[in-house]
Amino acid sequence: MGQMMSAMKPEKCSRREFLRWAGSLSLGTVVFSLVGCDTGGMESDPDRGNPPGEETGITIEGNVVTLDLTGSVARRVAEPGGFLHIDAADMLVVNVNGTIRAFSAICTHQGCEIRDFQNNLFTCWCHGSQFDTDGQVVRGPASSPLPEYTVERNGNIVRITKR
Ligand code: FES
């Protein structure tokens, strides 16, 4: 049973993580375990990706993510130091001294989904690359900055356009 459990697909994982996971398993195991997803403790986001929804204040339409800062989840970035990882949009949102900034959550090293933000640094769990709140690399192995997205704010409504 232990082996079976370790082969189960993570409950919530990015396409890249799924493909990496699936590639490590036999086809029979993949077919058997196409239910649920658990990243086996590799993920630090306790909310499993902050799903969009009216209550959460996160709306995703095409390449535009709209945040209502009164929403139950989006409100986290209403104040300086606030951070959101939106898995469904592969996006990191952070409030830097009152200015909301948004970046791609896809690590520029080998494409892992970045979920951690501590001490003003985004950290990739795969190989430890770190990026500052300008998206610039402060620790490798990544060598390229995180792409930044356009943010327009009108009161409590924040519109983020992915490029
Ligand atoms: S994929 Fe992020 S550090 Fe390697």
Cα 2 from chain centroid?
A: 29
Q: Return the structure tokens found at 156.
A: 């409590």
Q: How far is the CA of 147 from the centre of ligand 1 (A)?
A: 15
**Length of the chain in terms of residues written:** 163
DSSP string, 67-90: EETTSTTGGGGSSTT-EEEEGGGT
Tell me if 105 CB under 6 Å of ligand 1: no
pLDDT of residue 10: 40
Q: How far is the CA of 58 from the centre of ligand 1 (A)?
A: 27
Instruction: Give residue-wise pLDDT tens across range 4-36.
Output: 333 333 444 454 554 444 444 443 333 333 333
Q: Are 77 and 55 in contact (CB under 8 A)?
A: no
What atom of ligand 1 comes closest to residue 127's alpha carbon? 3
Q: How far is the CA of 47 from the centre of ligand 1 (A)?
A: 22
The domain ranges of the chain are 2-43, 54-161
Residue 59: Cβ within 10 Å count? 17
- Residues near 31 by beta carbon (within 8 Å), at least 6 away in sequence: none
Closest CA to 10 of 24, 2, 1, 21: 21
CATH for the 54-161 domain, from 3.40.1380.20, 3.40.50.2300, 3.30.830.10, 2.102.10.10: 2.102.10.10
Instruction: Give residue-wise pLDDT tens across range 50-85.
Output: 667 778 899 999 999 999 999 989 999 999 999 999
Instruction: Give percent of the chain above pLDDT 90.
Output: 63
